Structure 1
Amino acid sequence: MIDLGGQIHVVAGAGGGGIGTSACLLLARAGATVLAVDKTDLGCASATEALAQYGPQHRVVQADLTDEAALADALADAGPVRGLVNVVGGITSQDLIAPLLATGAMDIFDRLMRFNTVPTLAASRTVARAMVGHGQGGSIVNIASAAGLAGMPFGAGYAAAKAALINLTRTMAAEWGGAGVRVNAIAPGSIATAKLGRQRFDGGADEKDRAAKAVVPLGRRGLPEDIAGVALFLLSDLAAYVSGQVIAVDGGMLARPPYNDADGLPVFMTDPALRERLLGD
């Protein structure tokens, strides 16, 4: 039902073996010609390796996505671009452990705000101009975070940036809708990625599995393809009347009451007999 044959789609932040790379693969399988953009040598190499199995028509371009002119040059001879997936962003362990009252918190906040909003805004502006120019419209998908819909102790800059990105998504949708450009956001929960060349926060597979089962109703962390699949839907004509929306892809995590404990019961429900009956022990 999804056929992107003959269409050109850009993936910004395409390398690293995570959401961007998965988006490239799903787009290629759906028949699209993929223009993969990444800033790093490692990112470009991993995107090139992933796309090689789907033919020579796909291109990988190394560019800083805050540089609108560089991306515009990459698009100049690409043909009419119909889609864009923005995956640039993230948080390092150095920036994660940053209480709001900590020394240096303002510098960390500023760095995270810029890294998680400016590349996406710049890439979206550049691609939207191209879409307006060719007159066929298109779809832009911004990867935000579930943290942007809630809060994030020790990572305020990241959560605030993703909340800003969700707001930017809605503004883009309102401003560009008249030209047939749809803009939506995906808010992933905890996603297990390869994290090539990036820091990891986990302590191993067992610890991750236990943590996921404690807070995610579906009982597992998400995979990059879980996010890429929703991006593919939003890029396709199946979502032709969807714009300005944010879709949480989190295994039901945000639907879980914040006052529930690891057993899924309210923290104030401490009567042993009642807990035993409800849990079926």
Structure 2
Amino acid sequence: MLTTAHIDRTVQTALDEDAPSGDVTSEAFIPETATARAVLRAREAGVLAGGEVFAAAFRLTDAATAVHLERADGDRFEAGDVLATVTGSARAVLRAERIGLNFVQRLSGIATLTRAFVDAVGGTGVRIADTRKTTPGLRAFERHAVAAGGGSNHRFSLSDAVMAKDNHLAVLTARGLSVTEAIRAARERIPHTMRIEVEVDRIDQIEPVLAGGADIVMLDNFTLEQLREGVALIAGRAVVEASGNVTLATVRQIAATGVDVISSGALTHSVRSLDLGLDVEVAEA
């Protein structure tokens, strides 16, 4: 999902935004011949994601800059651990510093939060999945971070799978159309390899959706009792996904209802960037 070409294109855009006409501070203060060694150090425990993105910020600024990643994406670390070292032109290191940190801090925050959710449902067999509630332009980056944290990725885009949500169903209902027949008709229009998911917010919507042949039924904002009832009603006829109001405090209880997947937009849209620091030592060449 996260290719080198995609990383380079996005990181270069961020670098251009941050220094459209150069880094006037470093150029004014730092001798051109100065070299620097910088250490990426964790200031709190977490899970790493975005190591290659961090490295790209320095590589694209100056190809002669060397970045050695001490940990791989998905690795856990503790406060004080060294995650990477950077050596090269001091001006280049200082110019790329903030962009490299912005990416690795946010992505590691996502991976760390995802790992907490995954750990919370450990042993249940339930998958923790993300949603399309991602930062525009950074979906591949944030989805990569979810995977690094042990989570699963939902459909990447609107082009990947049929997923009828509440507003789709509202349009059908307003036109007096049958949800069951609409699902069957949709099946005829899509490739045989594509699955159909339908979101419901009431128990009475489940049977018509199953009658249409939906592969996945999303139970949206159901109470724990309603989730158990929905799982029993579906009885293995479709994959059951729970979504809505999922928190670390509730995710274990949701998993215990028997659902197969729990999706949460909070993994990407409400995450806190992890506290990572880059300590730079500058010396004359």
**TM-score higher than 0.5 here?**
no
The TM-score range, normalised by the shorter chain, is under 0.3
Higher strand share: 2
Higher helix share: 1
* TM superposition score normalised by structure 2: 0.27
Larger radius of gyration: 2
Larger RCO (CA under 8 A, 6+ residues apart): 2
